[in-house]
Structure 1
Amino acid sequence: MWILTLWLLFLLISKACGKKASDTGSCQPHPSCNECIRSHPSCAWCKQLDFVQADESDVARCASRLELERRGCLPSEVVDPRGKRHILEDRPLSESPRHESITQLAPQKIALQLRLGEEQNFTVRFRRAEGYPVDLYYLMDLSHSMKDDLENIKRLGNDLLAALRNITPSGKIGFGCFVDKTLLPYVSTSPAKWHHPCPIPNEPCQSPFSYRHVLALTDNASEFESRVSQQLVSGNLDPAEGGFDAIMQVAACKEQIGWRDVTRLLVFTSDGTFHLAGDGKLGGVYMPNDGHCHLDENGLYTKSYLYDYPSVGHLAEVLSQSNIQPIFAVTRPRILVYEELSKLIPKSVVGELKEDSSNVVQLIIDAYHSLSSNVNLKHSDLPPGISIAYDSHCGNSEVFGHGQSGECSGVQINQLVQFTVRIKATTCLSSTQDLQLRVLGVGEELQVQLSTVCKCQCGDVQPYASHCSSGQGNLTCGVCSCQEGQRGRLCECKEEELDDPEARCHDGNSTGPVCGGKGRCVCGKCQCNAHASGPLCKCDNTSCERHNGQLCAGNGQCRCGICECQSNYTGSACECSLDTSECVQDGAICSGHGHCVCNRCQCEAGWLGSYCSHCAECRTACEQHRDCAECKAFGTGPLSGNCSISCNQTMRAFSAPAVDEKWCKMTAEDGNLLIYLVEKDETGSITLTVSSQEGTTDQKLRLVLGLVLGPVAFAVLFVVLCCVVTEIYNRREVKRFEEECRRAKGKEVNNPLFRQATTTVVNPKYRKD
């Protein structure tokens, strides 16, 4: 338990320290503004002309905005582009049942400008409207086992259209049918079976086919019944059907089917299973399905002999792109198979079809309400380097997504749901990219125009700028780009005039690295890296004293190992604030009994407390020095973090003192037992001896250990006792069993029914002659 606790504590501390270290060092110096802003979202660039010192390089211009302003860069000179969001079109959501005015998804168009590594978010609203138009395509299995179903479907045209009109004033229905690939071993190709594949002679029957589109989407129920009544069943050889080929053509042939940009439903009815990708090889068909439309003028699928059945993944992708929601209406024996298939196809549902399809109308209505109440917001393919995540706000509860989609279930008509979409870029986009967001099953979509901020717009471009040695270079973002033949940070020298440009950049040893390896030599002078300075870059600007883990306490700038503090700070690490606000109570500084040092009260003799407001002489010696002892022992109490200033006693720590009545025993602020000794010599100096061993006895820790280890020890003891009792019981049972076996064993010769086993071997081929 102790090892596990310490290990978990170590991991938490390591994670916290690692996070802090990564946060403080997230922005690294870069030589150009473009590289700087691409490196990290916290990086900014200072274009101020006089910002960089003579011995510094332009990499010093790249840092966080706070660091740049602290080092003297004017806020107006800091280049720190951020991502932007601009809504281009946002029509209000409507509850009107008229198709022309229905808007369920808002906004409709957004432009996003992304800074690398910086997340942008926006809110998408969706309200399920009443009376939204519906297109329903009925795709039926016409193998011979569906004969009774076909007879019922021939009479259901008016019922289907009437059911749709109860849902929406604008509904259309269409019809198609399928059997299987017209090849062996799926159908019989013998002439007799080809012309009459049904098992009953003289029964009306048509030749097998893969898929036939019969009727485009229409609102004419009579035409539906008329066209469907002309259909005849057919037949095939195996129980699996070619339904996947038919579904692919229904999704791909948008013009022939007549799909509108509305809710699209595909009712798939069958009493059999389905062929998958790869099954086509049995008939010599090995080319993968291309996902394109291949219908002739009669509506027949003409490439079933050429392309294999589509895979489930391919079918799911095409249905999703076409915004088609399948309703699998299948008989009871096939329910489990199609339920597994439905898990792989978004926005699909399975319903049980009676043997004669008599319940198909009610099944469609129930399936439609189930599909419509589930709102699923998805996106199209993401450009490289773009990631997306969703937060779904579904009424009173919230469901947080993880980059796949936004989902809300059980959404009622006119109920508003919202999705927070979060987008981040990690690489620069070469041009503006389009991203589409849409609710599956709804014709509307949100267009998102994505672009990235990867170039600085400094607004200071000057060709032949006077700042660059009177026109020897072009100025961009405070940096000079020199003309040909010119060198230097300000283009101040000519290349041909430099006999030995690196001679002045060595420290007496020409074999050593230029500028001590901490910079580069330009025009005979060292331009130091971000953390170095001086003529030869010898000064380390990261070696200054730290306070609370920060260089110069974050209140100054490190120069050659010495902290140059800001105007209101002092100290070797700029840790001491010249402010006195923390020393003032009731208008008095340190209650008139001390001095304010580093914005903390340093009390006079005889006074204690954060504001020197407690009389030390009015208390016992133990009470007078309790706060200092607690601060020394545990770093807690009123003087926490201020021991060295407020406590002027001589401090000592003993690991195992002989504690007697002279020692003070007090309870610390957090419940720890505090043991210390106060000694005063003849000069009046006080020595405070704090027991580091006894003082670290934490009563709360004992209580926690008792609560944790007590039940654990009891559980272990209980398990051991159970094992011992079980072992004793098992040994007794085995001994009793062996004794009974010994008593029951008899000799075979005493058994009158016992006969010795015999074996007779006969060779039927053996002939004595």
Structure 2
Amino acid sequence: MKFVVVVLILHFVEQNIAAEALVCQPQRSCLECLKSPGCAWCQQQAFLKPEESDERRCDSLKSLIDRNCAKSNVIDPRAETISMKDNQLNNDLENVVQLRPQSIKVKLRVGVPHEFKVEFKRAEGYPIDLYYLMDLSYSMKDDLERIKNLGQDILDTLQKVTQTVRIGFGSFVDKEKLPYVSQVGPRRRNPCPNRIDTCQPAFTFQNVLPLTNNAQEFKREVSKQKISGNLDSPEAGLDAIMQATVCQKEIKWGNVTRILVYTSDDTFHMAGDGRLAGLFQPHDGQCHLKEDGSYDGTAFDYPSVGQLSRILQGNNIQLIFAGQRKSIPAYQALSALIPQSVVGVLKDDSSNVVQLISEAYWNLSSTLLLEQDRTPPGLRVSYMSDCKDGASRNWQQRGECSGIGVNKQVDFTVRLKASECLKEPETLKIQMQGISEVLKVTVETLCDCKCGAAEENSQHCGGNGILSCGVCSCNEGYLGQKCECKSNTDSNNDMACRQDNSSQVCSGHGSCKCGQCVCIGHFYGKFCQCDDSSCERHDNEMCNGRGSCKCGKCVCNDDYRGSACQCPTNTDMCHMKNEVFCSGQGECKCNRCVCKEGFMGEDCSLITDPCPKYQSCVKCAVEARLQKESFDICSEECGLVELSWLDGCHELQCVYSDVNYDVTLKQTGILITYANCTSTIDKTTVIIGTSVSLIILIGVVIIIVYRVLMELYDRREYQNFLKAQQEADWNMTHNPLFQGATTTTVNPLHIQDG
């Protein structure tokens, strides 16, 4: 309890700071002032100056106190959380508490967010009610045989989580209407697709066995069931879920964890499908079970998904869809629209149903969803979850955590923000999905000014008005801050309200009443000429944050000055390296050196382009030295520059001809140090140049020799070729093995006589 009190106090302080940080928009009445975030109202009678309007009573708390409004006269209601019921989290099943607190009252300022903490820890061993809802269409024949022997297995599996488990059974097919179910007599009595099997007539929903902890009774009742059949593929699954949910008494649902297991091998009919059978009446969401547990679905259309989602959520029932692979996409789409529901893939014979239920229950119980039942108009609710996993969270429309084990505490921060005044206190319920416990939050807005009873004919109002919240409401015929003048007199002449005969009355920022300016908004002064929000800014802050704005001008703190209090009075940055301000070459302004022309750097100790600037001076000095003349002849080029000659050659910053020189700034002035460096041959350059040239030359010679040798070789080979050609013997010889071809042709038709 102490922890919660500390948390509430800390949040109360945080909200006060946050409210103070809001920028107040002044209003003319106390009621409107309290609707403006960050504003407070001063009801002190003598608070305003004669020229100030009633709007000046509406300002931030700090500003009102700074303007000498006694804190006891400030109306500034603050948001707060009042604990109404806050029992400790408890695992005792006789008095289990999983959600804390249970009831609070929250008072809000309009536009100012307010936060409070909510704790949740799922109780270990919390009782479970599981209702098994099965499709008994003919295609589920094999599954029914398997389910008959699974009652004990389901109970044994769930008893690993809790010792108190109850199980029930219901079945469904489809509405007994065409085109869903055949109306032909023999087919109606036995809807099996072949005459060998025997099926029971089709029905919409049947509550076979209410919730019980007797596994043998489950097996006995399920064993009595026979398969049925219908004409089309989709079933009346949503009708069955609706009846199994709303018939609390008939199903015997307890105030425990409620799980509904839905098994089918095909899809489902939705709202609107019933029109094919002439069913136009929308489902009323009520229980219509008969005494024998049957439901006649021919009176209403199928339920809508949205209607079913609200019913399931309102009755804290968690839904497990167990479907075969071909219909899984349809059930995944349906599950996305129904909170606290999951989808599992069922094997063809439902042999994995126990494992599926176990995995689905873990997924449901490890996912926490905290949300409110409704959001009243003008009120916004948001959540931030602390899931103890180290991940950062943002404000969301509901609290959400996943992978949360049993007996692990999770904290949520709930933020309320009112955008308008509520006419009366609103109560909303914040609840963890699937859990019956709720947090009742009663919200009211702080929009009433508790100034006490109004004082009629108040002496503060000259006896001519009503005093309420420090403001005079003058009777008819009277005007003024204190109803001190009559509206039909010449005292309303506006000449006295013009500054220096200006054409504008009250500088355009007020109205003239009773010969005095009554300023509007944040303007004040005899002629409403002053404005404490129009001073010069520096670094995007008024008066640099180092002073206050008074009548359009900055009044700086002692250690700052300037039109925008932008200049510190100390000068430590202007003589960092020496005691001379800005090295004698600049002026210290706002603790920064402003250098003269030709100088630069933080302390003006650097010369701008020193080499070309003093080249003429060095040239003149060198010529004077060579001619052995006085340096006075260089006064025009050098001015007051001090020259210093160095013997030998030195590497200096600047180079002119054979002279190296350096220009530095001393406290006494400009000093030029120079030295003569006669040009000499660079031995390194000569060695490198010679080496490179020799390498190139050797390379060229090698290439020429190679080409000459190759030419001589080619010529010699050519001569050898010609000589061999001339010595070749081309005489013809006779081959004794070669016999010429001989052909003799005789025409038998042509015979010459001897």
| Shared fold (TM-score, shorter chain, > 0.5) | yes
* SS of structure 1 residue aligned to 2:332: helix
Q: State whether structure 2 residue 261 is matched by structure 1 residue 267.
A: yes
1:378 matched residue in structure 2: 371
Any conservation in 1 of the 2:583–2:667 contact (CA below 8 Å)? no
Q: What is the correspondence of 1:523-542 to structure 2 with a 5 Å cutoff?
A: 523=514, 525-539=516-530, 542=533
- Of 411, 426, 430 in structure 2, the residue corresponding to residue 433 of structure 1 is 426
Instruction: Tell me if structure 1 keeps the 8 A contact 2:116–2:414.
Output: yes
Find the residue that maps to 1:468 and give its secondary structure.
Answer: helix
**TM-aligned CA distance change 1:344 to 1:557, over 3 Å:** same
Aligned 8 A contact 2:462 2:482 in 1: no
Checking the alignment, whether the CA contact within 8 Å between 1:390 and 1:404 is kept in structure 2 is yes
SS of aligned partner of 1:400:
coil
Residue identity matched to 1:398: A
Preserved contact between residue 43 and residue 80 of structure 1 (Cα < 8 Å): yes
Following superposition, the deviation at residue 333 of structure 1 comes to: 2.9
User: Of residues 438, 448, 461 in structure 2, which corresponds to 1:469?
Assistant: 461
The verdict on how the C-alpha distance between 1:281 and 1:401 changes in structure 2, with shifts beyond 3 A counting, is: farther
1:421 aligns with 2:418: no
CA deviations on 1:626-678 (whole Å, 9 max, x unpaired) are 8998xx9xxxxxxxxx8435647646799x97552769xxxxxxxxxxxxx99
Do 2:462 and 2:483's aligned partners in 1 also have CA atoms closer than 8 Å?
no
Aligned match of 1:102: 96
Give distance in 2, aligned partners of 1:599 and 1:242. 82
Q: Which amino acid aligns with 2:570?
A: C
Indicate the residue corresponding to 2:565 in structure 1.
Answer: 575
CA offset digits 1:277-318 (Å, max 9, x no partner): 33223223344433333333333334x334332333332232
How far off is 1:52 after superposition?
1.3
Equivalent residue in structure 2 for 1:600, among 565, 569, 577? 569
Partner of 1:615: 578
After TM superposition, list the pairs within 5 Å mapping 1:231-246 onto structure 2.
231-246=225-240
Q: Deviations over 1:704-759 (max 9, x none)?
A: xxxxxxxxxxxxxxxxxxxxxxxxxxxxxxxxxxxxxxxxxxxxxxxxxxxxxxxx
Percent of aligned positions that are identical: 44
In the TM superposition, residue 559 of structure 1 has moved relative to its aligned partner by 5.5
Q: Is the 8 Å Cα contact of residues 568 and 590 (structure 2) preserved in structure 1?
A: no
- Using the alignment, how far apart are the partners of 1:448 and 1:657 within structure 2? 73
Describe the shift of the 1:491–1:269 C-alpha distance in structure 2 as closer, same or farther (beyond 3 A): same
1:285–1:307 Cα contact (<8 Å) kept: yes
User: Match for residue 144 of structure 1?
Assistant: 138
Instruction: Pick closer, same or farther for the CA change 1:432–1:653 going to 2, 3 Å.
Output: farther
In 2, are the aligned partners of 1:467 and 1:490 still within 8 Å (CA)?
no
Displacement, 1:269? 0.9
Q: Distance in 2 between matches of 1:627 and 1:328?
A: 88
Distance (whole Å) between structure 1 residues aligned to residue 40 and residue 546 of structure 2 = 20
Q: CA deviation at 1:474?
A: 3.6
In 2: Cα distance, 1:427 partner to 1:347 partner: 33
Aligned runs of 1:217-236 on 2, under 5 Å? Answer: 217-236=211-230
For residues 700-711 of structure 1, the aligned pairs below 5 Å read none
Cα offsets for 1:46-102 (capped at 9, x unmatched):
233222110110101222223333333344433332211122222112234xx2122
Q: Which amino acid aligns with 2:271?
A: A
- In the aligned structure 1, how far is the partner of 2:316 from the partner of 2:585? 73
2-structure distance, mates of 1:57, 1:362: 76
1:329 alignment partner in structure 2:
322
Which residue of 573, 576, 590 maps to 1:644?
Answer: 590
Query: Using the alignment, how far apart are the partners of 1:299 and 1:510 within structure 2?
Result: 95
Greater mean alpha carbon deviation, residues 133-142 or residues 164-173: 164-173
Task: Tell me, yes or no, if the aligned pair for 1:545 and 1:572 is still in contact at 8 Å.
Answer: no
Instruction: Indicate if the aligned counterparts of 2:497 and 2:517 stay in contact, CA closer than 8 A.
Output: no
- 1:51 equivalenced with 2:47 (yes/no): yes
Q: Distance in 2 between matches of 1:233 and 1:333?
A: 21
Indicate yes or no: 2:103 matched with 1:118.
no
- State how 1:229-628 maps to structure 2 within 5 Å: 229-302=223-296, 304-457=297-450, 459=451, 461-464=453-456, 466=458, 468-483=460-475, 486-494=478-486, 497-498=488-489, 501=492, 507=498, 515=506, 517-523=508-514, 525-539=516-530, 542-552=533-543, 560-562=551-553, 565=555, 573=563, 575=565, 600-602=569-571, 609=573, 615-616=578-579, 625=582
The residue that corresponds to 1:90 in the other structure is 86
User: What pairs up with 1:614-763 in 2 under 5 angstroms?
Assistant: 615-616=578-579, 625=582, 643-645=589-591, 647=593, 650=596, 660=611
Q: Does 1:80 align with 2:76?
A: yes
Taking a change above 3 Å as real, the CA distance of residues 195 and 653 of structure 1, as seen in their structure-2 partners, is: farther
The residue type equivalent to 1:488 in the other structure is: G
- In structure 2, what is the Cα distance between the partners aligned to 1:352 and 1:547? 67
**Distance apart, 1:527 and its partner CA:** 1.2
Q: For residue 693 of structure 2, what is the aligned residue in structure 1?
A: none
SS for the counterpart of 2:321 is strand
Unaligned runs of 5+ in 2: 1-19, 601-606, 615-662, 671-754
What's 1:30 paired with?
A: 27
Secondary structure of residue in 2 paired with 1:185: coil
Verify the 8 A CA contact 1:460 1:478 in the aligned structure 2: no
Cα distance in 1 for residues equivalent to 2:527 and 2:578: 58
Q: Amino acid of the residue matched to residue 283 of structure 1? A: A
Q: Residue type of the partner of 1:575?
A: C
Deviations 1:211-264 (A, max 9, x none): 222332233334433433333322111111110111122222223322222211
Selected match of 1:166 from 160, 180, 194: 160
SS in 2 for 1:601: coil
1:181 matched to 2:175? The reply is yes
> What amino acid is aligned across from residue 601 of structure 1 in structure 2?
N
Q: Unpaired segments of 5 or more residues in structure 1?
A: 1-22, 577-597, 603-607, 618-623, 633-641, 664-676, 686-769
Kindly state the Cα deviation for residue 382 of structure 1 after the two structures are TM-superposed. 1.1
Number of residue-to-residue matches in the alignment = 598
One of 105, 118, 126 as aligned partner of 1:132: 126
CA distance in 2, matches of 1:627, 1:379: 73
Q: What TM-score do the two structures reach when normalised by structure 2?
A: 0.70
1:64 corresponds to 2:27:
no
Deviation at 1:184, TM superposition (A): 1.4
Question: Structure 1-normalised TM-score?
Answer: 0.69
Quick check: 2:384–2:396 contact (8 Å CA) kept in 1? no
Q: CA deviation at 1:38?
A: 1.3
Contact 1:501 1:524 in 2 (8 A): yes
Determine the C-alpha separation between the residues in 1 that align with 2:276 and 2:501.
79
Aligned with 1:316: secondary structure?
Answer: helix
- Aligned partner of residue 411 in structure 1, secondary structure: coil
- Give SS of 2:327's match: helix
Letter in 1 for 2:56: A
Contact 2:494 2:512 in 1 (8 A): no
- Kindly provide the amino acid, as one letter, of the partner of residue 479 in structure 1: V
Alpha-carbon separation, structure 1, partners of 2:592 and 2:471:
51
Q: What is the CA distance between 1:30 and its match in structure 2?
A: 0.9
Q: Work out the CA distance in 2 between the residues paired with 1:32 and 1:196.
A: 80
What pairs with 1:188-207 in structure 2 (closer than 5 Å)? Answer: 188-201=182-195, 203-207=197-201
* Residue deviations 1:107-140 (CA, integer Å, cap 9, x gap): 2122221222222222222222211011111111
SS in 1 for 2:294: coil
Cα pair 1:179 1:243 within 8 Å, conserved: yes
SS of residue paired to 1:615: coil
**TM-superposed deviation, 1:569:** 7.9
TM-superposed deviation, 1:415: 1.6
Alpha-carbon distance in 2 for matches of 1:653, 1:311? 84
Amino acid aligned to 2:51: D
